[in-house]
Amino acid sequence: MTKSIPDQAEVAVEYPDKLYIGTFGKTARFDAHLDQTGISLALHRADPADARKSVRMHFHYALFAEILRELAKSGAALPAADIARRAALCDAAKSLYLALQPEGAHRDNIADLTPDEEVRLLHILE
């Protein structure tokens, strides 16, 4: 199911002899889901047929986990004063974390996390 893009995405694909750059704004749509082997992301610009653009990416789970770890390492670089972006990222990371818990292990209150879960969540959010 595709959803509207709430902000903007920029994509660049570089080959030795070519460079493709595309932007996807608020009129574009995206799809993101988990499948059997990894995560699938797609961006779609619904312009007239002659200008229509799509980007599709698929990352296996091990690579996506490493991407999340790298994002966690650079999270401190986001200015502390940028409360809105920090809150949006924290909320999304928490949603992913809770969605990946075994069935019946979902918690609505972060205070119910075990010490190990708190450490893992902190690493994700850093």
Residue pLDDT, tens place only, 35-87:
999 999 999 987 776 677 899 999 999 999 999 999 988 888 888 788 888 88
Mean pLDDT of the chain: 86
- Judge if 85 and 116 occupy the same domain: yes
Total structural domains in the chain?
A: 2
Share of the chain above pLDDT 90, in %: 47
Question: Do 54 and 83 belong together in one domain?
Answer: no
Per-residue tokens: 104: 């019946």
55 & 16 share domain = yes
In a domain, residue 39? The reply is yes
Whether residues 85 and 51 share a domain: the answer is: no
pLDDT of residue 5: 92
DSSP secondary structure string, the chain?
A: --EE-SS-EEEEEE-SS-EEEEEE-TT-EEEEEE-SSEEEEEEEE---GGG-EEEEEEEEHHHHHHHHHHHHHHGGGS-TT-HHHHHHHHHHHHHHHHHTSPTT---S-GGG--HHHHHHHHHHH-
* Residue 72: inside a domain: no
Beta strand pairing call for 29-34 and 9-14 = unpaired
What integer pLDDT is reported at residue 29 of this predicted model? 93
Four-residue CA torsion sign, 48, 40, 105, 84: negative
The answer as to whether 71 is a domain residue is no
Residues 38 and 83 in one domain: no
Contact between 62 and 70 under an 8 Å Cβ cutoff? The reply is no
Domain shared by 8 and 38, yes or no: yes
Rounded to two decimals, the pTM is 0.71
- What range does the domain containing 85 cover? 78-125
Per-residue confidence (pLDDT) for residue 84, from 0 to 100: 87
| In a domain? residue 73 | no
Does some domain include residue 67? Answer: no
